[in-house]
Structure 1
């Protein structure tokens, strides 16, 4: 069945229909090629941890949906790897996202959030994605990697071109990839000449050592993935969270009344309106039975994180946003060995972004009927723009 357009315009409605009729369905991806989509929580969670479902494209059968295609210099990343290569590279970068390292980033992230809110002023309207949700995580991830301000480039435009196909600009993705590669080549060369106390300099030092832990393509691909995933997912998580709270004023009021609920709220918001509709595509290395359906080796499997997170067999009344809910076990950031490496940082940034926003503005509401503009993507769930009105001071002023 060709559900690519429906999945873009009404993902949760489609997922509910699919989930209630059968656990696994044969669909066509955005490129018109077939894939199997899995929608029930238990099957999705098991699939995320199943070593028979490979991320390595060498196991892909020709003619099936394969998703975004990148040049080799950007393709040698964790989203295309199985152990032992995945284990080797994840270990190298894992130290950047430990709880201790993330804790050190909280104060700088809050300072960035406060500065961005200062720039918004006290009373007015703005696109909260462009003015707040996007610049906050890109600043944090660039600080982590050690990217100078004047070399940060237009990450939002590049990632948007890769995630959201535009038929009116058929070469947009290709041009974005070219621009990113030129940026990374120059950046790595600069850091080789002038290393600093940052993650990128550390990775370059590993690459240039004699122990062969990291190839040049793996180095560039890793930088690409950290920037792409570390930035893009968090923009979507922050933006989606604000939108969901504004759609549910009683939940927004509850969070204002008890700010200590922020960590639980972020978990529920991630479950309810997470940044990824689908996990990265997988390819069975042998025939695999999922939900009673046999998926042949080499065909494409799409595990729907959003469908699983709204499965009533796992989360009662899943269409209801409830920040008091125990949302532990949600799959918004994955599961198993491919669990999102930057999850602790994404959670911390979202907590900080929401806390600072609600502390600053006593009035925060959608600005018009078309305030939320969603991006058209089969895989990502995120806003192009979110127009809001805001005001400091007493709510009744």
Structure 2
């Protein structure tokens, strides 16, 4: 028997309505309160507000027509604002998720959501069953009461420790395995290297897998094929997970799921990726970024969200000198280069040094680090600042 407003919604455009109705008919075998998203704006808005899950039917033409359906467009925008609402993209037939840049700005997070491909031929029933099982996994985690109402089955008590600090400590231990593999190569800027691309991930699609307990975000520059550092970072994380795919707390195993995002090694990319991770209620911590622009632009967002980030490659002094509690790194700050230079000068017996620096923030901080270390060792400084334009 259906509620007045279905708690599981299927959103589709007019040309995919027949497929959506067929899918609805199949899923009603497993769920009690499921229906198509209304084409009435008020009803659609209210339905999204109380929904337990949203399925978005997407074929190869969806990206070209979503802006023509104002009700569906606005409803999907509202759904993506809900951090507690699981959204699954249902790909029709051979359809694939469009690149994130092709989505309307309001819908770009959809490019990173879970997805299930459902065939239109004889494999439809089997694919629909796969979808139903994935839906059950999400409902159990996000809405236990909704799962019971939908299926008529209560969820058995699950022993969980509820100690996220311990989880973070164990994940940090996992990162040491990542560093063993990734750090010697992440700092190699050779463009001749050709690491093997990871089949499970690509530049725009997340690797959110059903029935996983913890998500670990990975922010890496993956879209520039000439710069292999991002792919190497990702390869290192995957190798570490092959060796240790679970964390253990009080003898209970918790599998680690990866949510991989491409920051393109740009400031805007770092911000977009941070917003995606912050919008996910499952992300516990983030590995990355691997380039300065993405690290510096996003660090304030992670601070406000309380998400710990650990970078294997960002060396800017401002990341650890400007009170960013979310940021950690496993590589020395560039400031230590300046300190080492000061120590070297003192060892050579150079007692008077002229320091020339620009007025950019990084230049000022490096100059200050050198001056402080050099003067502490008894050296005398003359400083000239150069105005940059």
Pairwise same-fold verdict (TM > 0.5): no
Q: What interval of TM-score do these two structures reach, taking the shorter chain for normalisation? A: under 0.3
RCO comparison, higher one (Cα < 8 Å, 6+): 1
Larger radius of gyration: 2
Q: Higher helix proportion, which one?
A: 1
TM-score normalised over the length of structure 2: 0.27
